[in-house]
Structure 1
């Protein structure tokens, strides 16, 4: 049977240099289905299927399980999804290369020690074991980076406020107005820096006389930030730690900033005490969060499709939001001001919205991946006249 633009199972397998058995296995595992099945049961695939197979094979090579892959790939050939996936896979490959270089160095050091000392340096062996056990954390970091990137893109590309979130936040820092001795660099600490987007988007506005410490609890996020910021720029330094235990002396920083971080803290009071401790007298703490109406249309949409779907197991604004943030901060700071960011999202295509929904921390993937085409059609139907999303975000400016 000759179908223009379609490949038989055998042709498709040869193109990908895999066996027909492998192709059938992915079909049974609900990872890669044929685009067309004849009444007699013959399976046919397209170039779009081949692009999806590329993602599957690469993720398998990177060490992900089939269950991981099923949750990380969707049955959509739109370039929007494919480009984002390839960019993140490239980043993960870079992480793997760095890891393997560390493993090689540890092996060389261990071999040298055995040859010279005729005995094993067990501390080096433990370092080697630690390095070879980093695989699981790398996979977790990759998935987190994928989700964060999807959320950033939705806000960056479809928000109506042309200034953008990070430029607006940076403007509130008013770095030139912070009291600081003329002969000393301004010292800034960012808690939960993520991939460094705040500073990337404001590089031309950052003072030359400044020392910025970027911190995150995730080593993977710090690696991304280091890659994204100029390697030769000595204004930046990086350190991984939990903000509930900041490893710096009292009065080390003139400004501490935290973008959408405090609501993740298990003990916000401990974090606030640490922040106050490391601030200089009169220093400022600026932290952003969101309110109860933030992105509510998205939750309403998925609930309309399936009322069992919960995009987030926790209502983070209840932990620390625009409505209760001032009361939480009052015991630690002498002055507190709340500023809101005026913005909304307007969409005219489904892909960015679907990508955002699949990036959430709830149970949506369990409900949607088996019904992806149905869900995509549902989203498209609800976007006939566009789709408006409320943004309810802002920040608190606090003084010690």
Structure 2
């Protein structure tokens, strides 16, 4: 039995949502929100998917985006409108990021006011300039929204189609062990998914420091961890200059981040330096075979399309040992056994257009329609598309003390 439709006229939608008729008609006029259908009496009708899209538009307006930016997002975003839970969660995360940024700005202003009070008429113009930079930093909420959509698309593909149902974060965390009274440092914690997805497993006696290059990200993580945030310390840190004493941590974590560091050798030396003798570095990455079928599919369709970011080739499972050997002598590689069998087109396309490469710019309009048909034919022929997942980590143990001079001698 087909699902019963619940359509609304413009007036009914206005009353149901609190929007004005004028606003709804304007959205229709500019193509931002057009009714899904018109009945025999020429009455324009909005579906429940239209209502979800209207919600998205209003949330993006609340975030501070212009109607032009919203229109571009609505056009580019292939996320099904009926996935309201996913949309709400994403909007919540963006708002939390805004709140975190404003709190960071507020503290910067307070610090500057304090300096002015102490200095009297002597104005610290460098401090004022720092506040101005802080206010303007990370303010492109349109780009942050796009990034959130893209990250969500990648996670959705993994969560929906991965064969290994344990999941990367649970598997990786299990290898950290549960020994009590450890000091743990994570470099480049990002959204701290490792800790959010394992909050129930963290030993009570661990002392954990989460670091990132982005102050706004750290504030967002603090809020996202909620009641668990008191378990952590948060610090702005560059992996190339770790601001801790020698031999301070039992565990250092670099989870899918080393390939982004400009001077990896320097970062590796720094991680070795802050580890205690016998301490362990957990440096995760993937191999060049990871998701290779995705690149092969797009290349067969159009050799100009690129999906996978080559930056990860700087530190991957096939060459990462060489990088770590500049400071560590005891290194073990541990792989996560997994793969995907994808039998739906849209999640795959959403992944492809979520990466920093050119797929999202090339796969538009008629080209996107042709590519969609191409993938549907592949799935019809094979039943599903097999995709390799080849991720893991290097477990590097500190067995001795190496100085900066030792490192320099090795490099030369």
Tell me the SS of whatever aligns to 2:203: coil
Say whether residues 1:192 and 2:188 are aligned partners: yes
| 2:410 equivalent in structure 1 | none
Any idea what the Cα deviations from partners look like across 1:165-196, whole Å, max 9, x if unmatched?
A: 112212222342xxxxx8xx311111121222
Tell me the SS of whatever aligns to 1:204: coil
User: Does the C-alpha gap of structure 1 residues 205 and 98 become closer, same or farther in structure 2, counting only changes over 3 Å?
Assistant: closer
| 2:305 equivalent in structure 1 | 309
TM-score (norm 1): 0.79
Once the two structures are TM-superposed, the CA of residue 269 in structure 1 deviates from its matched residue by 0.8
Match of 1:338 among 333, 338, 362: 333
| Contact 2:52–2:81 (8 Å) recurs in 1 | no
| Contact 2:341–2:384 (8 Å) recurs in 1 | yes
Any idea what the Cα deviations from partners look like across 1:14-72, whole Å, max 9, x if unmatched?
A: 985316454333x3xxx66675699xxx9986543443344234324423353575246
Match of 2:91 among 86, 89, 92: 89
Say whether residues 1:143 and 2:141 are aligned partners: no
Rounded Cα–Cα distance in structure 2 between residues aligned with 1:397 and 1:190: 14
| 1:350 equivalent in structure 2 | 345
Rounded Cα–Cα distance in structure 2 between residues aligned with 1:394 and 1:12: 50
Any idea what the Cα deviations from partners look like across 1:284-331, whole Å, max 9, x if unmatched?
A: 11111111111112222333443322114x423421111111112112
Once the two structures are TM-superposed, the CA of residue 274 in structure 1 deviates from its matched residue by 1.0
Once the two structures are TM-superposed, the CA of residue 362 in structure 1 deviates from its matched residue by 0.9
**Unmatched segments (≥5 aa) in structure 2:** 399-412
| 1:179 equivalent in structure 2 | none
| 1:217 equivalent in structure 2 | 213
Say whether residues 1:174 and 2:174 are aligned partners: no
Rounded Cα–Cα distance in structure 2 between residues aligned with 1:335 and 1:109: 45
Once the two structures are TM-superposed, the CA of residue 366 in structure 1 deviates from its matched residue by 1.3
Deviation larger for 189-198 or 94-103: 94-103
How many residue pairs were aligned? 382
| Contact 2:269–2:326 (8 Å) recurs in 1 | no
Any idea what the Cα deviations from partners look like across 1:205-251, whole Å, max 9, x if unmatched?
A: 32222111111222343234323324355431111222111111211
User: Does the C-alpha gap of structure 1 residues 378 and 12 become closer, same or farther in structure 2, counting only changes over 3 Å?
Assistant: farther
TM-score (norm 2): 0.77
| 2:59 equivalent in structure 1 | 58
Match runs of 1:262-281 below 5 Å: 262-281=258-277
Rounded Cα–Cα distance in structure 1 between residues aligned with 2:373 and 2:322: 44
Rounded Cα–Cα distance in structure 1 between residues aligned with 2:38 and 2:107: 51
Say whether residues 1:391 and 2:389 are aligned partners: yes
Match of 2:363 among 359, 368, 380: 368
Tell me the SS of whatever aligns to 1:361: coil
Match of 2:28 among 20, 23, 31: 23
Once the two structures are TM-superposed, the CA of residue 353 in structure 1 deviates from its matched residue by 2.1
Tell me the SS of whatever aligns to 1:394: strand
Rounded Cα–Cα distance in structure 1 between residues aligned with 2:226 and 2:27: 43
| Contact 1:186–1:209 (8 Å) recurs in 2 | yes
Alignment root-mean-square deviation, CA: 3.9
| 2:401 equivalent in structure 1 | none
Rounded Cα–Cα distance in structure 1 between residues aligned with 2:200 and 2:24: 53
Rounded Cα–Cα distance in structure 2 between residues aligned with 1:75 and 1:284: 42
Match of 1:154 among 157, 160, 171: 157
| 1:293 equivalent in structure 2 | 289
User: Does the C-alpha gap of structure 1 residues 278 and 387 become closer, same or farther in structure 2, counting only changes over 3 Å?
Assistant: same
| 2:408 equivalent in structure 1 | none
Match runs of 1:55-134 below 5 Å: 55-65=56-66, 66-67=68-69, 69-71=71-73, 73-74=76-77, 77-80=80-83, 82-100=84-102, 129-130=132-133, 132-134=135-137
| Contact 2:65–2:141 (8 Å) recurs in 1 | no
Once the two structures are TM-superposed, the CA of residue 202 in structure 1 deviates from its matched residue by 2.4
